[in-house]
Amino acid sequence: MITVMPSAIEANALKRTFGTNDAVAGIDLDVQYGEIYGFLGPNGAGKSTTVKMLCTLLGITAGRASVAGFDVATQPGDIRLRIGVALQDYSIDGKQTGREMLHLQGRLYGLSKADIVTRMDDVIGLVDIGTAIDDRVDSYSGGMKRRLDLAMSLIHRPQILFLDEPTTGLDPASRSAVWAEVRRLNDDYGTTIFLTTQYLEEADELADRVGIISDGLIKAEGTPSDLKRSIGTDLIVAEVDGDTATAAEALRAIDGIDEVQIHNNELALATPNGAGLIAQVAVALNGCGVPVRSLTLRTPTLDDVFLQVTGTHLAGDGPKDATTTESEPEQEVAS
């Protein structure tokens, strides 16, 4: 008999409401073991609320979910033993050393002293803390605190790791270091990783599959390559002054243009042959009397996918201030 392995993370019509606000409005998820799943969306989209429900830190309003084969609502203790969680807010005490924090985390998971020592050596090397592990956490930089928080989430060797915007507020070098650690965890240990992010580059770089969430709903899902390919091989973007509807009508008449989308004063044209058509696009815009600010040819990005499925750009794809967090309603912790 063939045994079918359950998914690492499953959700069906998962919903969380705060008053009249649907922070998560009914989403479906199916994340396989060994996968890096990128959950991409802006602040307030519902990313952190989803993670907190899956980690059993927040109750479910409707729907169901399971993690590591256990029901989120009825088997939270079984889930907590099998997952690691690094949320946006550091769960660390600045008055203790990094080693003391790791030791405490191991004790909380019921590890023996011998296991704690062995696993501590593993995670210290994995996240590249070095000799700073014996310094007080108050002396750590933001990047060091992120890495210590990651190490704490790994001390018990979780099957599934939840990372909620792990690089928010970090400088580019620290972001790259965290990315390398995430890849190593997945490559060397087969750790399943559920990664929320508001950085397009991060999702593109790390994720096997990406779910784009906006207004509490998953608007699109697939591999980064497939999502970008769904728009077209090439993208011609025209920024214009004047009547965009008139310009779009003229552009749709060009043979080889698959789709024309209007976003404010910007026209996005999907085509398999951008280099061969960009001159015709310029002529068509000139012929309909619409002034052109800029005309560019490029391959699609995840931001183009986000723009297509949500109608807006995912603003601010870059390092944020360390105090930036997802703006969502106050949340209670599930028992």
Domain harbouring 50, CATH code: 3.40.50.300
Q: What is the pLDDT of residue 70?
A: 97
Domain edge (last residue) among 181, 198, 221: 221
Does residue 98 lie in a domain region? yes
H or E stretch covering 37: strand 36-40
Q: Are 235 and 268 in contact (CB under 8 A)?
A: yes
DSSP-assigned states of every residue in 160-183 = EEEEESTTTT--HHHHHHHHHHHH
H or E stretch covering 101: helix 98-108
Q: What is the pLDDT of residue 9?
A: 98
Angle between helices 113-127 and 142-154 (to 10 degrees): 140
Three-class SS state of 196: strand
Q: What is the separation of C-alpha 320 from the centre of its chain, rounded to a whole number of angstroms?
A: 15
Residues 191 and 274 occupy one common structural domain: no
Instruction: Retrieve residue 245's tokens.
Output: 């509807």
Q: What is the pLDDT of residue 321?
A: 37
Q: Are 37 and 9 in contact (CB under 8 A)?
A: yes
Question: What does the pLDDT look like over 67-102, one tens digit per residue?
Answer: 999 999 999 999 999 999 988 766 688 889 999 999
Does residue 4 lie in a domain region? no
Instruction: Retrieve residue 322's tokens.
Output: 């360390």
* Other beta carbons within 10 Å of 323: 7
Q: What is the pLDDT of residue 169?
A: 77
Q: Are 285 and 292 in contact (CB under 8 A)?
A: yes
pLDDT band at 16 (very low <50, low <70, confident <90, very high): very high
Domain harbouring 291, CATH code: 3.30.70.980
Does residue 275 lie in a domain region? yes
Structural domain span for residue 179: 9-221
Report the number of distinct structural domains present in the chain.
2
In the chain, helix, strand, coil percent, each to 5?
A: 35, 25, 35
Q: Are 68 and 18 in contact (CB under 8 A)?
A: no
Question: What does the pLDDT look like over 240-291, one tens digit per residue?
Answer: 998 999 999 999 999 999 999 998 899 999 998 899 999 999 999 999 988 9
Residues 210 and 244 occupy one common structural domain: no
Domain edge (last residue) among 174, 196, 221: 221
Residues 126 and 147 occupy one common structural domain: yes
